[in-house]
Amino acid sequence: MVNGRRTNRVSGLRAFFSVIWRNPLSRTGFLILLSFLLMAIFGPMFIPELKSDYANRLQPPSAAHWLGTDLAGKDTLLQLILGSREVLLVAAYAGFFAVLIAAVIGIVAGLQGGIVDRILMLITDVVLTMPSFPVTMILSMVIRITEPLVFGLVLGLWSWAGLAKAIRSQVLNLKHREFIEASRILGLSKFNIIIYDVLPNLVSYIAVNFISIMKGAITSSVGLMILGLVPFQGNHWGVMIQVAISQTGALMGSASMVYFLAPVVCLMLFQLGSYFFASGLDEALNPRLRA
């Protein structure tokens, strides 16, 4: 039985990557995201702590510094690599918290119905009616942000409502299907029905939205840092952009233009990679779409 499950999982993974690889857009997006992921995981392992070198501040790209240096003489490329881990961690935490809240509220509201459904959807509608970025700005000023986990939580707290309503609609479509009725007749608990019947049918939908929420979280995190609302230390790309604009005059055509453009180009590439990858993710995770 264990060997059978292992074989099925291996076959499922092969089928997943096969579908992703056949789709040119998804393949391109997968390679872009994989590059960022490898850079975030392994890059910081090989880079020592960066030290200021004011004798070489704001240097243009050269053989010694491929992307030049910043205001303190630190290598821009190395800062970019170090910052990728913080950027992806914040986005992943935000996506995790948003998906978790949305899944719990959407599934409970859809399955339970009645007064529970009405109360949960009322809360969801209230969250939906309030613009997320201004609320996130206020939250970032109220909550003391000291690490990526807290930053991700702040970003995820107001990003779940749209997904919760969509998941509720999916659950309402599923709850009267034969296989769920059969589980009820067999006396399975709601917890088992959610785990074995409902969640497997929502995985592809949740995965696509997880990527979308990560994209939004990265944009929001950079925006908050540019506005100076997050006292975040480190090499986050938002910090690089904020320093380039406020302290080096990058937008005025100074020598720090490369220092400004490097994180901006990386952000654009990540957004593009996420969009491409998501274009084939639903098909890869949902066998019915491959027929």
How far apart CA 149 and CA 97 sit, in angstroms, is 10
Which of 44-53, 252-261, 273-282 has the lowest average pLDDT?
A: 252-261
pLDDT at 31: 94
Spatial contact of 215 and 32, defined as CB atoms under 8 Å apart? no
Sign of the torsion angle spanned by Cα atoms 53, 55, 58, 64: negative
**Is 144's pLDDT higher than 70?**
yes
Query: What is the residue-averaged pLDDT of the chain?
Result: 85
How far apart CA 206 and CA 32 sit, in angstroms, is 21
pLDDT at 199: 87
Over residues 185-203, the mean pLDDT reads 85
pLDDT at 232: 61
pLDDT at 93: 94
176-197 as b/e: b if 16+ CB within 10 A: eeeebeebeeeebeeeebbeeb
pTM (predicted TM-score) = 0.84
Q: Which residues pair with 156 in a beta bridge?
A: none
Residue 191 confidence class, pLDDT cut points 50, 70, 90 = confident
Spatial contact of 80 and 240, defined as CB atoms under 8 Å apart? yes
**Is 107's pLDDT higher than 90?**
yes
How far apart CA 127 and CA 157 sit, in angstroms, is 10
Residue 16 confidence class, pLDDT cut points 50, 70, 90 = confident
Q: What is the CA radius of gyration of the chain?
A: 22
Residues with Cβ within 8 Å of residue 232, at least 6 apart in sequence = 145, 151, 225, 238, 239
**Is 98's pLDDT higher than 80?**
yes
Structure tokens at 67: 């992307």
**Is 32's pLDDT higher than 80?**
yes
**Is 74's pLDDT higher than 70?**
yes
Over residues 2-27, the mean pLDDT reads 73
How far apart CA 95 and CA 151 sit, in angstroms, is 11
